[in-house]
Chain A
Amino acid sequence: MYTQGLDQAGYDTGYAQDDAALAQRFQARVDAEDKIEPKDWMPDAYRRTLVRQIAQHAHSEIVGMLPEGNWITRAPSLRRKAILIAKVQDEGGHGAYLYSAAETLGVARETLVDQLLSGAAKYSSIFNYPTLTWADAGAIGWLVDGAAIMNQIPLCRCSYGPYARAMVRICREESFHQRQGYELMLALCRGTEAQKNMAQGALNRWWWPAVMMFGPSDRDSKHTTQSQRWKIKRFTNDELRQKFVDFTVPQAEFLGLTIPDPELRFDADTGHYEHGPIDWSEFDAVVKGNGPCNRERLAARRTAHEEGRWVREAAAAHAAKQALRRAAEAR
């Protein structure tokens, strides 16, 4: 999901440099479902993993504002426009919660932002796809936020306190995102033939990217075991993906839409839907920077950062001046 970069990279997880007794006590606390707080001792690898995961998650929220932001000026009604603005604003807020959580681990906000803008940091592959029609705004809420919720609910019980608390707040707000998206799709599916076709087109384009959001299959994900031992991650990529498919297929049926997977079938024995093979070469290309919109997304973030520079500088100058004035008055 937001840790796709972690799943991909080879990553050291050893305790080699840490005091074995401290590490043992740390693991015992985690095993006992005790929460780890910022000033507590923690293994370096735990800290590094969390910084990377939380930062990737934060970057995903910030970049995630762009695909839907694309439709704010063209929302078909004032109601839909107000909803979309609120949703995009929430995503900015979620990014802010998460950056704050990452900062409790000793990394500076500017460092994280620099890593995003330089392209060194990853964010979720899903936001590198374009939003071609209005129905995409619905498909994102329904599928992308739906997949995000699957991933985020277990993160509310993550062993690191500040991350878990940020996730509780985010999950409370995320449900609105998914519901408004499904309602948007429902309105299109109950509309004209052309509107329904637009909804089907959006499902066709977003289904597989949404399924891939959960990251590589468990067979190929190097990261799962250590993250699970640390109780950062509670379920494997494939477990969460299965849950998403099981929840979503009946929702598509209700809309009268067809999931673009000819091999999709319900297995009465297991009670689960089985999906066809996933094209991991597409996923790899998008994660490595060659998705349809990777360059465009980063360019948009860089422009926003540069165009905001004078505001940041003016605010800092004003604050410095006010501080000087207060100091002079105090004398």
Chain B
Amino acid sequence: MTESHQGWPLYEVFIRARAGLDHKHVGSIHAADPAMAVEHARDVYTRRGEGVSIWVVPAAAITASDPDEAGALFEPARDKVYRHPTFYDIPDQIETL
């Protein structure tokens, strides 16, 4: 998360485990440039066939939500229970709904 003061910049690493799955965040890596970041990510995060595709993103380019505002951001979704299928009462004999 921190930009290192004198060394190589930090990249966040995302890996697709296999075709059909999303890229998932696995950690971070320092590298001089994006091409080197991909190579280092390969060596550090995929020594046992953990992936078929790598994304690297400069850590400084990520904008994240503030945990202190998590309430304001996410609370509004919590009381809308009618957005979930389990909210609706359907008689037992209706089996295919």
Contacts and interface: CB of A to CB of B under 8 A. Distances in A.
Place the interface of chain B in its size category. Answer: 20 to 34
Given A107-B2, A110-B6, A39 B32 contact: no
26 contacts: A37-B67, A93-B44, A93-B47, A96-B29, A96-B44, A100-B28, A100-B29, A101-B27, A103-B1, A103-B2, A103-B28, A104-B1, A108-B4, A110-B4, A110-B5, A110-B7, A165-B27, A169-B27, A173-B48, A312-B32, A315-B8, A315-B32, A315-B33, A316-B32, A318-B33, A322-B33
A63 B27 CA distance: 22
| Interface secondary structure of A, over-half rule | helix
A169 B47 CA distance: 11
Contacts of B6: 110
B38 interface: no
Contacts of A110: 4-7
Contacts of B95: none
A193 interface: no
B33 A319 contact: yes
B62 to A, nearest CB: 11
A80 interface: no
Contact of B47 (A39, A89, A316): A89
A169 B27 CA distance: 11
A166 interface: yes
A154 B44 CA distance: 23
A108 B29 contact: no
Contacts, number: 68
A97 interface: yes
A30 to B, nearest CB: 15
Interface in A67-99: 86, 89-90, 93, 96-97
Contacts of B27: 97, 100-101, 165-166, 169
A169 B10 CA distance: 20
A109 B28 CA distance: 12
A46 B30 CA distance: 25
Interface string B66-82: 11100000000000000
Contacts of B36: 315, 319
A260 interface: no
B29 to A, nearest CB: 7
A108 B32 contact: no
Contact of A109 (B7, B44, B47, B64): B7
Contact of B44 (A86, A97, A107, A165): A97
Nearest to A103: B2
A291 interface: no
B92 interface: no
B89 interface: no
Q: Across chains A and B, which 7 residue pairs bring their CB atoms closest together, nearest first?
A: A315-B32, A319-B33, A319-B32, A100-B28, A108-B4, A96-B44, A110-B7
Given A41-B67, A93-B43, 7 more contacts: A100-B27, A103-B10, A108-B4, A110-B4, A312-B32, A315-B36, A318-B33
A40 B1 CA distance: 13
Interface in B21-40: 26-30, 32-33, 36
A317 to B, nearest CB: 9
B48 A40 contact: no
Q: Among the interface residues A89, A97, A173, A323, which one has the most CB atoms of the partner chain B within 10 A?
A: A97
Interface string A158-183: 00000001100100010000000000
A109 B43 contact: no
A173 to B, nearest CB: 7
Nearest to B10: A103
A14 interface: no
A36 to B, nearest CB: 10
A41 B66 CA distance: 11
Nearest to B26: A169
B26 to A, nearest CB: 8
